[in-house]
Structure 1
Amino acid sequence: MSEQVIGANSQVIFHFSIKLADGSAADSTKVHNKPAKLVMGDGSLTENFEKCLFGLAAGDSKSFELAPQDAFGMPNPDNIYYVERSKFSVDVPPQVGAIIAFTQPDGTELPGVIRDVAGDSVTVDFNHPLAGQRITFEVDILEVRN
């Protein structure tokens, strides 16, 4: 049996860690020992993330650095909203740095980071928290199925 390597439609089970430029961990599947599972091309990873995985096989470990535009993109000013303070509940007052889930018209929730509170206006940033960050993506491939 030949070793299976990651290709266009492979199902991959892997551990990953995402580290910021300062070396701090932003996310890791190792914390709870629950590996990630994906099918290449299913849209759960950006095209640039997937390109880094092509050709790897079970047992491989790799680390690669991604520029912001290749990882979570650059912050989009259209994703910054100004919300009236009255829209926040008394139980959860808006505080700078807090992440609050906002319910969308279709019922899904979208997390937003409170960037500023000025008078009755609250600035909420709906960009991905890692947008604009240069990151290091470390992977340990556990299983590959083609």
Structure 2
Amino acid sequence: MQTVKTGDTVRVHYHGRLTNGSTFDSSEGRDPLEFQVGAGMVIKGFDSGVLEMQVGDKKTVQIPVDQAYGPKNDELIMEFPKANIPPDLKPEVGMELQMSNAQGQVFPVKVAAVGNESVTLDANHPLAGEELIFDIELVEIV
């Protein structure tokens, strides 16, 4: 029976959770995720986790921070003056916003803290610094 190797296009169902057991993503109720193994379309640990699987195989993969979204980067946490926030926007901790850099690229940020004069914004990926666990089922090698 054929096993997954680098370069194959595969279709998988998955359930992703944190080490505390909370679910952050799942393909349940959706089409399987399709990606080319080794092409950088998914995080490294997920990519390598499907290698050697056969159609119908199910496995659980524990992915360390450096094979997932990496550690939190303190350089992506910034103080932003409240005076530069539109007056109709009332920032609250946990609120997700969009910012743009000098080149016009838009990126998401999350409000980490709200002070009197400034707001602390975090541009890290929401799963940065987290070890991830995926239950993976190989549906098809395309």
TM-score scaled by structure 2? 0.89
* Structure 2 partner of 1:24: 22
Match of 1:136 in 2: 133
Letter in 2 for 1:14: V
Q: 2:45 aligns to what SS in structure 1?
A: helix
Deviation readout 1:103-125 (Å, 9 max, x if unpaired): 34455431111101111211111
Match of 1:77 in 2: 74
Is 1:124 aligned with 2:118? no
Aligned-partner Cα distance in 2 for 1:141–1:117: 44
Equivalent in 3, 10, 23 of residue 5 of structure 1 = 3
Offset at residue 29 of structure 1 (A) = 1.6
Which stretch of structure 1 is more off in the superposition, 100-109 or 51-60?
100-109
Gaps of at least 5 residues in structure 1 are none
Where does the alignment leave 5 or more consecutive residues of structure 2 unmatched? none
Q: 1:62 and 1:91, CA in 2 relative to 1: closer, same or farther beyond 3 A?
A: farther
- Once the two structures are superposed, the pairs formed by residues 85-100 of structure 1 within 5 Å of their partners are 85-100=82-97
Q: Distance in 1 between matches of 2:18 and 2:133?
A: 6
How far residue 92 of structure 1 moved from its aligned partner, in angstroms, is: 3.2
CA distance in 2, matches of 1:35, 1:105: 38
Q: Which residue of 2 aligns with 1:52?
A: 49
Which amino acid in structure 2 is aligned with residue 140 of structure 1?
E
Whole-Å Cα distance in 1 between the matches of residues 98 and 135 of structure 2?
Answer: 28
Calculate the TM-score normalised by the size of structure 1: 0.86
